[in-house]
Amino acid sequence: MPETLPEIQRRLTFAIISHPDAGKTTTTEKLLLFGGAIHIAGAVKSNKNSRAAVSDFMEMEKERGISISSSVMGFDYGGRKINILDTPGHADFSEDTYRGLSAVDSALILIDAVKGVEERTRKLCEVCRMRSTPIMTFMNKLDREGKDPIELLDEVEKELALQVRPVTWPIGQGQSFKGVYNLLENQLYLFRAGQVELPTDIVAISGVEDPRLEQEVGEYLARKLREDMALVTSIYPPFDLQEYMEGLVTPVFFGSALNNFGVRELLDNLVRFAPYPQAKKADERTVEPAEAKFTGFIFKIHANLDPKHRDRVAFLRICSGKFERNKQYLHVRSGKTIRAANPTAFMAQNRDIIDEAWPGDIIGLHDTGTFKIGDTMTEGEELHFQGIPSFAPQIFRTILNADPMKSKQFHKGLDQLAEEGVVQVFTKPHNQNVRVLGVVGQLQLEVLQYRLVHEYGAACRYEPIEFTLCNWITSSDARALEAFLDRYSHKILIDVRGTHIFMAENPWLLQRFKTDNPAVKFYPTSEMVESRA
């Protein structure tokens, strides 16, 4: 298919990940501003009168000023079609972020320059490193007094196990912050605090020894920049594109997203360096994006994306070939063919119907309950893409319908939100009516309650259970597994795939059961079970 390759090389699909409050949603919005996708910027605030960010469309997100659900935004810039996946920063929504990382080809990590590397950043970076995902780093909030830039680079190398390569460097910090110097271009980018329009004050200089430096930033900051550059160029090798593509080094940019400092340089370098769609591994084989036949997988499902229409949308990452509207494709799990009459492209909650899409694109498919997370669509080949696991929950609750008159709404809402990945729902082997929820954090339970009420008109209540962790279990010895399930039936649950889960009260007891039952294999993620099935 000769038209495929140019379209693939235009695509840039990346995720923005960070610790909560590092400025992720604000940075996303400013990337859209510089990319021309929006024309006015407004910071996320938690009070109801403020303008919410484009990417936070759920009411609960607007009220709390945090991202709870991944959202997708697409726009054209610098000759490339850019797809940004804005992921939840809050630890309670780790699974949504991990699944999102399976659908992108690179990542942008934000670090709060005041606080440095934080816990969520470490964990998310680990997931990226497991997949050798290329990572860019943006040191945000340089308009505040924070850690020394060299100290921040040291933290990244130590805490994230990534070698750093500074591409821009801050001129001043806090109240004296004047902008950034681009090492690759020998240019100064000078900005004004609070600026909401696109800044245009760019000064080309012939290196940091250029006397124009004093004219632009003052004698003290010019001297400081020269000292910093002498240190930086002696410590860090020049940026190497291949090392970045292999996930070995991270180019580092400095700025303040809230004040538009450094964001354009970040976007320009993403367009310049970030990879186009890469090969994706399936259980059966590796799928190359330039293959003629279409393949793709569902990594997210969202109900009520538009509350007015009570719709349900499956997010499909295209891996190879060309996706065409109204063409019949194989839904591998069911073995049935499906025709997408109204596939959509995303700009946060806004959607436009499209006729075609290419590898790297993320599109929305109208879903009446057909799709589940991890489903594959192809032109006939049986493929199962990897990397979309469920993780062992840490909090468990029995969920009960609080209003018997709304039983239908309660069950529909719970089923749809579970398929979305808001929570994991388990059943007991001998009592399918008892439903047990598993979540990573308490906030997930609050989100479930909130969305049941506001989107389905149903109410629920929770009852605690004594277990605090679980593992997926399997065995090559069918008799040993059956005997184990019978003996510990009060500790067994079943997930939506029909796989058995073993519950334990604490890590010590879990380890004891592993030791006492060597024929049974215990796994902390569902993906590990499936890969060994």
Structural domain count, the chain: 3
Whether 163 maps to a domain, the answer reads yes
- 257 and 291: one domain? no
pLDDT tens-digit readout, 208-259: 888 888 888 889 999 999 999 999 999 999 999 999 999 999 999 999 888 8
Q: Which CATH number do you get for residue 425?
A: 3.30.70.3280
Does residue 6 sit within a domain?
A: no
Give the pLDDT band (50/70/90) at residue 26. confident
Q: Are residues 356 and 406 in the same domain?
A: no
**Residue 328, CA distances (Å) to 321, 332, 335, 338, 496 in order:** 14, 12, 12, 5, 27
Q: How far is CA 305 from CA 24, 53, 350, 455, in A?
A: 21, 16, 9, 10
Pairing mode of beta strands 249-254, 135-140: parallel
> Do 323 and 437 have their domain in common?
no
Q: Is residue 3 in a domain?
A: no
Residue 51's pLDDT band (cuts 50, 70, 90): very low
One domain for residues 176 and 323: no
Q: Examine the domain organization and report whether 286 and 356 are in the same domain.
A: yes
Residue 437 belongs to domain spanning: 395-532
Is 47 a residue whose pLDDT tops 50? no
Question: Distance between CA 22 and CA 17 in Å, rounded?
Answer: 9
* 328 CB neighbour count, 10 Å cutoff: 12
Same-domain status, 115 and 28: yes
Shared-domain flag, residues 439 and 303: no
Model confidence band, residue 43 (pLDDT cutoffs 50, 70, 90): very low
| Residue 322 to residue 61: CA distance in whole angstroms | 34
Q: Quote the pTM value.
A: 0.75
Q: What is the CATH number of the domain that holds 205?
A: 3.40.50.300
Last residue of a domain, one of 273, 307, 328: 273
115 lies in a domain?
yes
The verdict on 223 and 258 lying in the same domain is yes
The whole-number pLDDT of residue 527 equals: 59
Would strands 168-171 and 187-190 be described as parallel, antiparallel, or unpaired?
Answer: unpaired
User: Is residue 268 located within the same domain as residue 409?
Assistant: no
- Do 365 and 246 fall into the same domain? no
Domain stop point among 255, 273, 291: 273
User: Does residue 318 fall inside a structural domain?
Assistant: yes
Residue 359 lies in a domain: yes
Q: What is the pLDDT of residues 421-478, one digit of tens each?
A: 778 889 988 777 789 998 877 777 888 888 899 888 999 999 998 888 889 999 999 9
Q: Comparing 69-78, 133-142, 310-319, 379-388, which segment has the lowest mean pLDDT?
A: 69-78
Domain membership of residue 479 (yes or no) is yes
Is 18 inside any structural domain?
Answer: yes
Last residue of a domain, one of 273, 308, 340: 273
The verdict on 139 and 187 lying in the same domain is yes
Tell whether the model's pLDDT for residue 66 goes beyond 50: no
- List, as one string, the DSSP characters of 186-210: TEEEE--TT--SPP--EEE-SSTT-
Q: Which of the 8 DSSP states describes residue 53?
A: P
CA separation for the pair 137, 396 (Å, rounded) = 36
Mean pLDDT of the chain: 83
314 and 456 both lie in a single domain: no
